[in-house]
Amino acid sequence: LYMCYDPMKKLGEIHNRLKQGEASLDRLEMILNAEEGVTDPPQPVSISKVEGRVSFKDVNFSYKDQEGREIPALRGISLEVPAGQVVALVGPSGAGKTTFASMIPRFYDPVEGSIRLDDVDLGELRLKDLRDHITIVPQEAVLFSGTIFENIKLGRMNASDEEVKEAARQAHAHDFIMMQPHGYDTQVGERGAQLSGGQKQRISIARAFLKNAPVLILDEATSALDSEAESRIQEELADLTRGRTTFIIAHRFSTIRIADRILVFEGGKIVGDGTFQELQEKHHLFRNLLEMQRH
């Protein structure tokens, strides 16, 4: 049940509320910013050009349950991720992958240790500035009531019409959009276009292309789409990762296979860090995980 409170997983819950017409983008922002104690610094450091290096130094993090007891989720995490590296996060359920990824946009702050983007501690940045440099693609696409065009434009509100369409082309969404009754102006949702899971994902990917942030967090779908739609989406996702520091909560063998680097999580620690080949040769847990995911 804790999953309902996790910001990354909350997106799914918000999705349902949106479907019922109860939420707006403001509300999404509010929910995402509502984490206790995550605040803007009094004198924020401004960053303009972000390369996308991410580093964790001795990071410990615990959740608190309703009685205030600590639930350790990350212990002694230290690593350096160079700009542009594609990192797959693997490990058993509850190992800390989502928590790790959630720390980068500051859904939670470390209890101990520090996290840096390029060379700046995340806590020194204005939250908005930090999150402008990070794109999150959730497991299930979050679409808002409005047109397809508006849904893509959310990626970057000052984008031109042509940029919105270019992002749709990059996500291979342009063609099916043009086939909708009103093209880009087609409403999504109950009284508008009935989009398939794959098409919604492509709109979400188009939004991510439009945002064009140097850091990308992908929460890979565990099941959902049919396998053909899934394998085609994988190509667009691979395009999206190019040139961006990417963290993928990975469930698929094919994703793990193409990552530059794999982090194996267990019990809140990183117990393996290497390339696919390195880990396959010598890492027992990794081999077991692969056995379970090899389909």
Cβ closest to ligand ATP, residue 135 vs residue 139? 139
Cβ closest to ligand ATP, residue 77 vs residue 154? 77
Residue 44 DSSP symbol: P
Alpha helices in 76-226 (DSSP H): 97-103, 127-132, 148-153, 161-170, 174-178, 197-211
Cβ closest to ligand ATP, residue 144 vs residue 286? 286
Q: How far is the CB of 2 from ligand ATP (least distance, A)?
A: 4
| Residue at token pair 């094919």 | 254
Q: How far is the CB of 77 from ligand ATP (least distance, A)?
A: 12
What token pair was written down for 291?
């056995």
Give me the amino acid identity at 257.
R
The CA distances from residue 270 to 8, 82, 91, in Å, are 20, 17, 9
Q: How far is the CB of 88 from ligand ATP (least distance, A)?
A: 13
Residue 198 DSSP symbol: H
Q: How far is the CB of 98 from ligand ATP (least distance, A)?
A: 3
Query: Is residue 192 a contact partner of residue 216, using CB atoms and an 8 Å limit?
Result: no
Strand partners, 57: 114
- Which residues lie near ligand ATP (CB under 6 A)? 2, 5-6, 63, 71, 73, 91, 93-99, 265
| Helices and strands, counts by H and E, the chain | 12, 12
Cβ closest to ligand ATP, residue 179 vs residue 292? 292
**Euclidean distance between CA atoms 284 and 295, whole angstroms:** 19
Cβ closest to ligand ATP, residue 124 vs residue 273? 273
Q: How far is the CB of 110 from ligand ATP (least distance, A)?
A: 14
Centroid of chain to Cα 169: 21
Cβ closest to ligand ATP, residue 112 vs residue 281? 112
Q: How far is the CB of 6 from ligand ATP (least distance, A)?
A: 5
Specify the 3-state DSSP secondary structure of 73: strand
